[in-house]
Amino acid sequence: MIESKENNFDIFIIGGGVNGAGIARDATGRGLKVCLADMGDLGGATSSSSTKLFHGGLRYLEYFEFKLVRESLKEREVLLSSMPHISWPMKFVVPYHSEMKFEPNTPVSKFLSLIMPWKKGKRPAWLIRLGLLLYDNLGQRKILSSTQTINLKSDPSGNPLKNKFTKGFEYSDCWVEDSRLVVLNARDAHDAGAKIMSYHKVLSAKKRNDGWTVEVENQNTRKKTYFNCKLLINAGGPWVENIILDTIKNNVSSRSVRLVKGSHIVTKKLFNHQKSYFLQGKDGRIVFAIPYENDYTLVGTTDVLHANIQDKPKCTSEETTYLLNFINDYFQKPVVKKDIVWSYSGVRPLFEDGAKSESAVSRDYFIEFADQNGASPILHIFGGKITTYRKLAEVVVDKASSIFPSMKKKWTSKSFLPGGDFEVGDFETIVQDVYNLHNYLDLDLVRRLVRHYGTDSYKMLANKKNINDLGRAFGHNLYGFEIDWGINKEWVTCSEDFLWRRTKLGMRLNKNMELSVNKYIQNKLRNK
């Protein structure tokens, strides 16, 4: 094995999901030398398959998870302020009727069954309002609106709903472009000096006198490279146990994860307003219906045990039927299978707490620091949710202070991600300014560029004087210059990376267009 100073790092991170990318960003900003490797695309698994919300977890209150809800609620506005291009406030409508029931096994439902047995598990309106009042006040809400009761007969959000829904509650959470969140964290880390490697699989990690030697294989070329680090971080998400057992081998953890699949369907637009719906089913579970990519509605999610991580998750016909039946209990116009334009599934690696059902498993995270004071320290991450990724990263890097006592102080709570250096609420101002500078562009394209790239749109369009300067046209306002940015700045290696994670243009382009995009990318990479 050939030693190289270039391959010596303070921290090596296995896993390029939101937790791994967040840790890389935080640690690099504190002056540490960081390397991150993922066997696939950045955010290519769980982190690009979420419901795409920064939220406190309203339903978690029924499980008395106050600590998790409080931390999540505090994080919403911290995150929103740092990335106002890919995250924005979103109002949620909770339609109510007297027959709504609790999920039967929650602590709250069991308690109410004891003191109010005549309700037979039905959810009283006052309790929902009380829960929302608690939701408003557990966190430090400054930007988001407070909860209000609404009349669904007069409010536009009531128009698509069945007539039995006359009363509702409206509360606030935040949307986030999850896959872009990952890549922007990785980019910020890279710009500060981190080495980021997508499509690089960690084959083994072996102890050495002063840390670890990590063997990594390029998944395209099959070339193997060795890296040395003082601290190894296992942020493998659904693969965290596989990494412990198969990659590291000589490190045993008593902790484990429960793999829970969450599936979503994307339908034709179901309503003509920008509010979302928080819907409760006959089984007590919750499903969201959210405006998506201007022309669609996102519906999800399910909670299904996923037995084998080697099986690629997919939305089954049973899950599709479940989600359709769920929303058809609420909407006047029936939604059928032919209305579905896309579906996706992801696997949540939930920290195994022994809960009886998949819905009841905690969404909190657990960090295990093994051999902390020894020669080969390693840190494993179990569980977590996208809303708490920044806090998780901060806690992880704080724990590393015993190994790196001279590292800088925490910093991410007051910083912005690339392109996010503008105030919440100024999005349309940025759109108009970019459009004024480049009025040959379609306004919808400008709005999409600012949504994806924020103020980086100015850099992307620098020296562009007319439509011909944008490069090859692929259809649906996609031009070569944007793909070039993805290749040069965001680790794009194929059409799937770009069309389904860096953007969602895959829903609009046909197969021939997608093939053209992939060919363009491969040609660019060969000539790079």
Phi-psi region of 52 (alpha: psi -120 to 50; beta: other; left: phi over 0): left
| pLDDT (tens digit per residue) in 246-287 | 899 865 666 777 888 999 999 999 999 999 999 988 777 889
Confidence class for position 15, pLDDT limits 50, 70, 90: very high
Distance (Å, rounded) from C-alpha 255 to C-alpha 46? Answer: 20
Phi, psi of 206 (to 5 degrees): -120, 140
Give the pLDDT score at 101: 62
5-46+179-255+363-414 carries CATH number 3.50.50.60: yes
Report which of residues 98 and 159 the model is more confident about. 159
Confidence class for position 113, pLDDT limits 50, 70, 90: low
Give the pLDDT score at 131: 77
Say how many C-beta atoms besides its own lie within 10 A of residue 458's C-beta: 17
Torsion angle (degrees, nearest 10) of CA 392, 397, 403, 404 = -170
Are the C-beta atoms of residues 168 and 70 closer than 8 Å to each other? Answer: no
- As a CATH number, domain 427-526 is 1.10.8.870
Query: Can you name the CATH fold of 88-175+258-351?
Result: D-Amino Acid Oxidase; Chain A, domain 2 (3.30.9)
In sequence order, the β-bridge partners of residue 287 are 279
Report whether pLDDT(137) > 50. yes
Say how many C-beta atoms besides its own lie within 10 A of residue 107's C-beta: 13
Report whether pLDDT(163) > 70. yes
In this prediction, what percent of the chain has a pLDDT beyond 90?
72
340, containing H or E segment: strand 340-351
Distance (Å, rounded) from C-alpha 44 to C-alpha 37? Answer: 12
Report whether pLDDT(356) > 80. no
CA 43, 51, 318, 496 torsion-angle sign? negative
Distance (Å, rounded) from C-alpha 20 to C-alpha 71? Answer: 19
Confidence class for position 373, pLDDT limits 50, 70, 90: low
Give the pLDDT score at 217: 97
* pLDDT mean across residues, the chain: 90
Give the pLDDT score at 1: 43
> CA 501: distance to chain centroid?
11
Give the pLDDT score at 2: 44
68, containing H or E segment: helix 66-82
| pLDDT (tens digit per residue) in 299-348 | 989 988 888 888 899 999 999 999 999 999 999 999 999 999 999 999 98
| pLDDT (tens digit per residue) in 454-494 | 999 999 999 999 999 999 999 999 999 999 999 999 999 99
Report whether pLDDT(294) > 90. yes
Q: Is the pTM of this model over 0.95?
A: no
Poorest-pLDDT segment among 58-67, 244-253, 352-361: 352-361
Q: Which two tokens stand for residue 417?
A: 């991600």
Distance (Å, rounded) from C-alpha 109 to C-alpha 124? Answer: 11
Are the C-beta atoms of residues 77 and 239 closer than 8 Å to each other? Answer: no
Confidence class for position 55, pLDDT limits 50, 70, 90: confident
Give the pLDDT score at 136: 82
Return all residues near 338 (Cβ < 8 A) that are at least 6 apart: none
Give the pLDDT score at 3: 47
Question: Please, what is the Cα angle at 411 between 409 and 416, to 5 degrees?
Answer: 165
Report whether pLDDT(104) > 80. no
Domain-wise residue ranges, the chain: 5-46+179-255+363-414, 88-175+258-351, 427-526
Distance (Å, rounded) from C-alpha 499 to C-alpha 502? Answer: 6
Give the pLDDT score at 5: 63
